[in-house]
Amino acid sequence: MQITPSILNADFADLGAEVARIPSADWIHVDVMDNHFVPNLTFGPAMVEALARTTSVPLDAHLMIENADREAPAYVEAGCASVTFHVEATRAPVRLAREIRAKGARASMALKPATPIEPYEDMLAELDMVLLMTVEPGFGGQKFLDLVLPKIRRARSLMDKHGVETWLQVDGGVSLETIERCAEAGADVFVAGSAVYSAADPDAMVNALRDKAVSAADA
């Protein structure tokens, strides 16, 4: 059970300090947005590379960009240990996953809430992680979409069926209220943005979220 806080709602003028506030994080989730795939704009590889230099916590890049086939490898070069591309924005997901792995990072594929997992069953072994969005990508602070829960269960059973080690990440509206549902359904990596950065003690929130996920999965 891993918690990957998103810095999307942190103070962009002081990202190094914002990351230093959450030493208990398993990963730092960096949301890259290009104003085309999603209606919001954040930062690119130069900013990610600068952030990577400030922390020893590994970076988990979530690319919400149109030209993932061409752009994704730059995020491995920028120092990200995991790179997630959206299947809706990728022309050759198998080739891209192999390229990310060959460059030395974990390869991950994201699905928007309405994108089914079943067409990708046969490529699960090519992936180190699948990210199931539990909001429409683009903004932090949105309400968790319960309609994704059955897909989390189906994805987990496909992974079990194929005996793969692929992690199952959820992103969007994850909080103390919603994390148990995700863990019960089979998620094992949890992105939380506003839940962490709106907490009085963000690092304590990271640990509280992990504890809840662990006890829900054990139940």
| Interface ranges with ligand DX5 (CB under 6 A) | 6, 8-9, 29, 31, 62, 135, 137-142, 171-174, 191-195
Cβ nearer to Zn ion, comparing 84 with 166: 84
The yes-or-no answer on residue 14 being catalytic is: no
Residues 6+ apart with CB under 8 A from 160: none
CB of 4 to ligand DX5, least distance (A): 9
Using rule CB under 5 A, residue 60 touches Zn ion: no
CB of 133 to ligand DX5, least distance (A): 7
Cβ nearer to ligand DX5, comparing 102 with 147: 147
The yes-or-no answer on residue 171 being catalytic is: yes
CB of 84 to Zn ion, least distance (A): 8
Q: Which residues between 158 and 197 bind Zn ion (CB under 5 A)?
A: 171
Query: Contacting Zn ion (CB under 5 A), which of 48, 62, 86, 126?
Result: 62
Give me the catalytic one of 34, 128, 171, 188.
171
Could you tell me the CA-to-CA distances from 28 to 32, 60, 84, 88, 181 in Å, in that order? Answer: 13, 6, 13, 23, 22
Cβ nearer to ligand DX5, comparing 58 with 141: 141
Strand order in the sheet with 28-33: 2-5, 189-192, 167-171, 129-133, 106-111, 82-86, 59-64, 28-33
For the chain, state the CA radius of gyration.
16
Cβ nearer to ligand DX5, comparing 120 with 190: 190
Active site residues per annotation:
31, 171
Q: Which residues bind Zn ion (CB under 5 A)?
A: 31, 62, 171
